[in-house]
Chains A and B, each alone.
Chain A
Amino acid sequence: MPNMSPTKVPMPQQEPDIRNKNFEEVATGYTEEMAIEEATRCINCKHKPCMTGCPVNVPIPGFIEQVAAGNFEAAYEIITSENALPAICGRVCPQENQCEGKCVRGIKGESVSIGRLERFVADYHMKHGKKQTLDVKPNGKRVAVVGSGPAGITCAGELAKKGFEVTIFEALHKAGGVLSYGIPEFRLPKALVAKELENITDLGVKIETNVVIGRSLTVDDLFDKGYDAVFLGTGAGLPNFLRIPGENLLGVYSANEFLTRVNLMKGYKKGEVPTPVKVGKRVAVVGAGNVAMDAARTAKRLGAEEVYIVYRRGAEEVPARAEEVEHAKEEGIIFKLLNNPVKIHGEDGWVKGIEVVEQKLGEPDASGRRRPEPIEGSNYIIDVETVVIAIGQSPNPLIRQTTDGLETQKWGGIIIDEETGESTRKNVYAGGDAVTGAATVILAMGAGKKAAKAIAASFEE
């Protein structure tokens, strides 16, 4: 008999007032008993709609069945047959819009907590599992993967399993892309990212850090060096700014700079590392996506007393995951919705406030969201010492500027064949945020996987 409880087994978490002062993980994870109980909520329905919601096609009911039976290692093998980064996906995937959004249990009550179960299985394996060894016959073909974020590592792992010799080139000193520099420790512990990366290098994938493709080497150089194909998983790393007066005052960061200082450069270990992070008593984060939530919650943890999310649209339009918004509110982040920043005020070169104008919502715009319109004369200043701009990122132009025949959209996204991921340049494939603009980890992984399949097929004779 399936467990017909209408609600998920709750996730154990640190209390908000404790966790907003530390960088340890917010959610502490299911116990074995909790996982089994939650897994029995899956009714193993005929059509498996959850799987159609998964960009990497994890056989979800199959792994949940094994969890329910207490066969956690078997569950791990099922997940990793399709998904090389389960500990990461279990934590940062927007399951509510994907697998869980399609779950039949969600029609009357809450869906099965597929994400929490995936995370449990991955964490269980890290603690108890044995390293898997894979005996693959090399096929003599070499692929260069540019960027070691979710798209790149997934593509590399899949290709290695098929016998390709794969080298990943990473511009920074550390692999992982946004998983390392962007997503904070309290949401995605870096030790865990390192472990899942190790699974990829165990397959024989080489990672060369400190190589900027487009500068240290070009795409043409890679072919000259004998690579048969190239996959571009370079992400969307170029920060957008508001283009309002005062953006170059001291105390204004892009979310990229702020989060990179804290995560990649370990600024969260204040006083132990030389990379400085300066945070005022009052902080305004502009934007309301997941990156904005990460920045606001990070600022709070670094000691800011008042942290605001400043967003020009309304609550309905907030692009961040509901869970992230919830966590941010619990931790004391103040939401200033329908407030559009128009100027950053300074004194002697330093930020002292952000001027906003209140908005009302009009008719839907091109994005389908209701267009915010200013309310004349409603301007006011929020007193802050730090402003973090988190209004999105664009693809980095270094590769498109140095690669002949690689066509991009006007806004910089690489143009690809939707079926194969191949770009307008032969044997150059691309996927992830470099193609779509800033999106999610799992969509990038799906794109990396699709390209790996197409690359393998193109060399099969």
Chain B
Amino acid sequence: MYKILKKEVMNQAVLLFEVEAPYVSARCEAGQFVIVRVDEDGERIPLTIADYDREKNSVTIVVQTVGYSTKLMEKLEEGDGFLDFVGPLGQPAPLQSSWKKVVGVAGGLGAAPLYPQLKKLAKMGCEVDVIIGGRSAEFVLWADKFAEFCKNVYIMTDDGSLGGKGFVTAKLEELIASGAGYDHAIAIGPLIMMKNVVLVTKKYDLHTAVSLNPIMIDGTGMCGGCRVTVGGETKFACVDGPDFDGFEVDWDEAMKRQTFFKEEEHECMMKLES
């Protein structure tokens, strides 16, 4: 059992868990992920690490309760545990000390995995801005935590209930066009949002890293389910990524592959709800 030290309901669809996982916390770096299982017979769920504390032996994950297994997580409380919690998996994010000014772009849940990357960059002496997007105010995550090290925190909501009204891409383009002088961008969020961010940054030749979270089982290169085409080559997101050059990712294929088990997932949810 991997003990839950802290549980926080961030909004109606997002939960935070701080979990005791000494092997993971001792070695993990920004950009890496873990795989968790709630119970026997449960799915193996890949989740990018949102934070870690080497002294407390703890790792923080943030989960959107959209599927069968993540719904089961809602029932877990502090003091309970995850049955399995393995990592750190994947490559650390390839953050460069040569970057002077970086903009992070987060869509919804993407704020959580973006957080350790920007925090580390700030520590490395890089000037960091962040644009956080969400459906409405309550879906904007961690604006206060980003403010601790980001020079500017921009917020965008679909309904205008917090920050500007509209998509993160609008704010991003506005900043780039007005001469913000970024030398790199990192975008993490839903596939469609990352695809759209790249459409903007490509226009300005602003190199953009993205973090993928495709369907996978083992997370160690064994199943090959997480295949993604990058620069015309097949890569395994679990061992070659999860971070890739956003300019090179075949977004349409990645979005299609995400729908492989939609039907089965739906059947499973129906069962849980009945």
Interface residues of A (CB under 8 A from B): 171-173, 181, 209-212, 215-217, 237-239, 241, 243, 247-248, 250, 253-254, 256-257, 260-261, 264-266, 271-278, 349, 396-398
Q: Is the CB of A210 within 8 A of B85?
A: yes
Q: Is the CB of A260 within 8 A of B222?
A: yes
Q: Is the CB of B224 within 8 A of A254?
A: yes
* The one of B27, B43, B263 that contacts A274, using a Cβ cutoff of 8 Å: B43
| Residue ID in chain B nearest A259 by CB atoms | B223
Given contacts A274-B268, A276-B265, whether A216 and B224 have CB atoms under 8 Å apart is no
Contacts between the two chains (Cβ within 8 Å), count: 106
Instruction: Give the distance in Å from the alpha carbon of A257 to the alpha carbon of B234 in the complex.
Output: 16
Q: Is the CB of B268 within 8 A of A257?
A: no
| 27 intermolecular pairs with C-beta atoms under 8 Å apart | A171-B218, A210-B84, A210-B86, A215-B27, A215-B220, A216-B23, A237-B221, A238-B222, A239-B224, A241-B224, A250-B259, A250-B260, A253-B225, A256-B224, A257-B217, A260-B223, A264-B217, A273-B41, A274-B42, A274-B69, A274-B268, A275-B43, A276-B264, A396-B220, A396-B221, A396-B222, A398-B221
Chain B residues, CB < 8 A from A278: 260-261, 263-264
Chain B residues, CB < 8 A from A396: 220-222
Q: Which of B223-239 contact A (CB under 8 A)?
A: 223-225, 227, 229, 234, 239
Q: Is the CB of B43 within 8 A of A254?
A: no
| Residue ID in chain B nearest A389 by CB atoms | B224
Q: Is the CB of B221 within 8 A of A276?
A: no
Chain A residues, CB < 8 A from B83: 173
B89 on the interface (CB 8 Å rule)? yes
Given contacts A216-B24, A265-B43, whether A248 and B229 have CB atoms under 8 Å apart is yes
Among B27, B42, B260, B265, max chain A CB count under 10 A is at B260
Chain B residues, CB < 8 A from A171: 86, 218, 220
Given contacts A173-B83, A248-B234, A248-B257, whether A266 and B220 have CB atoms under 8 Å apart is no
Q: Is the CB of B84 within 8 A of A173?
A: yes
Q: Is the CB of A260 within 8 A of B218?
A: yes
Q: Shortest 3 CB-CB distances between A and B: which pairs? A: A276-B264, A257-B223, A210-B86
Instruction: Give the distance in Å from the alpha carbon of A238 to the alpha carbon of B223 in the complex.
Output: 7
B171 on the interface (CB 8 Å rule)? no
Among A171, A212, A253, A266, max chain B CB count under 10 A is at A212
Instruction: Give the distance in Å from the alpha carbon of A173 to the alpha carbon of B37 in the complex.
Output: 9
B253 on the interface (CB 8 Å rule)? yes
| Residue ID in chain B nearest A182 by CB atoms | B222
Task: State which size class the interface on B falls in.
Answer: 35 or more
Q: Is the CB of A398 within 8 A of B220?
A: yes
B87 on the interface (CB 8 Å rule)? yes
Chain A residues, CB < 8 A from B42: 274
Dominant SS among interface residues on chain B:
mixed
B134 on the interface (CB 8 Å rule)? no
B68 on the interface (CB 8 Å rule)? yes
Q: Is the CB of B217 within 8 A of A265?
A: yes
* The one of A212, A247, A265 that contacts B86, using a Cβ cutoff of 8 Å: A212
Chain A residues, CB < 8 A from B87: 212, 215-216
Q: Which of B7-59 contact A (CB under 8 A)?
A: 23-24, 27, 37, 41-44
Instruction: Give the distance in Å from the alpha carbon of A113 to the alpha carbon of B223 in the complex.
Output: 36
Chain B residues, CB < 8 A from A248: 227, 229, 234, 253, 257
* The one of A181, A261, A274 that contacts B41, using a Cβ cutoff of 8 Å: A274
B88 on the interface (CB 8 Å rule)? yes
Chain B residues, CB < 8 A from A237: 220-222
Instruction: Give the distance in Å from the alpha carbon of A241 to the alpha carbon of B226 in the complex.
Output: 13
Chain A residues, CB < 8 A from B220: 171, 212, 215, 237, 396, 398
Instruction: Give the distance in Å from the alpha carbon of A397 to the alpha carbon of B236 in the complex.
Output: 13
B256 on the interface (CB 8 Å rule)? yes
Instruction: Give the distance in Å from the alpha carbon of A397 to the alpha carbon of B240 in the complex.
Output: 11
Instruction: Give the distance in Å from the alpha carbon of A252 to the alpha carbon of B245 in the complex.
Output: 25
Instruction: Give the distance in Å from the alpha carbon of A238 to the alpha carbon of B238 in the complex.
Output: 12
Given contacts A261-B217, A265-B217, whether A209 and B84 have CB atoms under 8 Å apart is yes
Q: Is the CB of B37 within 8 A of A257?
A: no
Chain A residues, CB < 8 A from B86: 171, 173, 210-212, 216
Q: Which of B66-118 contact A (CB under 8 A)?
A: 68-69, 83-89
* The one of A247, A264, A274, A398 that contacts B234, using a Cβ cutoff of 8 Å: A247
Instruction: Give the distance in Å from the alpha carbon of A88 to the alpha carbon of B198 in the complex.
Output: 52
